[in-house]
Structure formats: structure tokens, C-alpha cells
Amino acid sequence: MKRIIPCLDILGERVVKGVNFSNVKSTGDPVQLSCRYENEGADEIVWLDIDATLSSREMMFQRLSDTASSLFIPLTAGGGIKSIQDISRALGSGADKVALNTAAVRNPDIIGKASDEFGSQCIVVSIDAAWNSHLNMYEVYIGSGSIPTGIDAIEWSRRVQELGAGEILLTSRDADGTLNGYDRRLVSQISSSLKVPVIASGGCGSIDDFITVLGECGADAALAASVFHFGILRIDKVKRALLSKGIEVRI
């Protein structure tokens, strides 16, 4: 069963969306948007405090709790998570899963420790990747997509799976917010390399993009933001189209 997952990038008190991880603009209130998406048929919500790591502050746990308490579907929370204690607090604030990005790269041991403590099903490793033509590879970025690491994204995805990650949230930095479609090569290469589920993110602009990434590219879930926030598509319409193409989704 494939999943459709809206993403809420949180900056301050608002949901925002940009292009290529920059030039963000406000799109709404996180509680209102998450409830709307649940009513439209979203399978899960991803909630990311995108400024926490760059600002060296903790996640906005109260804002997370406000959103989680309004939902019945699963919620994944990320941003500013640095320790096992942060993970515990996010789960205690209502998150069903916690996404690790910068902390996982800087301290890979946290993946295994968190998986042992809370179960691998709770631990999502978020990988932001962009094509590096000089290195001839997809390079991992941290710090909300602002800091290149020199790490090969495909090798990193295999390693975090071995360390205990239960799921990968894979975002194309190149495609993010462009509405030009997912990075099919990136998604296909990583999906075919792993046994754990892969959530494809970055660039969705049409129903055909959902069909392609969940069908041809092998992603287990498709995450999108702009197409939902700006009213280009509704989740229920996307799901009906997927069903018409033989892609199983929950209605």
C-alpha cells in the first residue's frame, strides 16, 4: 500500500514553502493545514521545524504537540533533534516517528541507540541530496539543505539502514519546490538499494509525478508540499488517479 504524505515546513508559527530550500513564504497554520489534509485522505503528516538546527535551538515541542493533538493519522517530526532525550521528548509531544538528519550525519551512533530505545519503526533518517557533477555522485546536505558534506547519498542510505533506521525520507535539493517532478534517478537508485521504505520528496508538480515515483521509481510513499499548500492538487483526487493506474492506496 503506497502512502501520500503532505509536508509541513515550520518557521516560527507558520507553515512555509520555498524553492531549493530558500526564498520561503508563508502558506498557513500548521494545525489547520494538517487537519485539512487528514480530511482529504492523507496517510501521514511530516512536520519539520526547519530553523531549529540552523538556530541551534530545540524543536518547538509545544507547537508540535498542538499539531499532533489535532490528528488521528501518524505524524513524523524533525528539526533540532540532537539527542536521545530530544527524541523522547518529541515522541512524548505526540509524534509517532522522529526524523534525524544533521544529528545522524554528525553522530551516526544515535541511529542505533534510538532504534534500540524506541524501535526502528519510530526512527526516520532524512537525507537531503543534490547532484555533484565534480564528484559524480548525489551528495548529502545537512543544516536544512545548506551544508554540503561530501558524503555519497546512496552509500549513506545503505549505512543508516544497517544502523537501524526504519525508514528513509529522501529529498532532492535540486528539485525541491520546483514543481518539475521528483528526481527519478535519485529515487530509483536509493529505493532499489534498500529494504526499508523510502519516502520520495522534492519537486512534485502533478498527478503524473505521483504515478511515476510510486510506480516506476519504486518509492513506498510520496511526500509533497507545494501542490497541496497552493491548491494545485487535492489528496483525494491524487489517490483516485493512483487507483486508476493500479497503484494501491488507502481510500
Catalytic machinery residues: 9, 128
Greatest alpha-carbon span in the chain:
46
| Distance of alpha carbon 199 from alpha carbon 219, whole angstroms | 6
The label of the residue with cell 524506541 reads 118
How far apart CA 78 and CA 123 sit, in angstroms, is 10
DSSP 56-94: T----HHHHHHHHTT-SS-EEEESS--SHHHHHHHHHTT
Q: Three-state SS string across 17-45, please?
A: EEECCEEEEEEECHHHHHHHHHHHCCCCE
Q: How far apart are CA 97 and CA 75, in angstroms?
A: 7
**How far, in Å, CA of 44 to CA of 213, rounded?**
18
At 212, which helix (H) or strand (E)? helix 207-215
- Cell (9 digits) for 112: 542505533
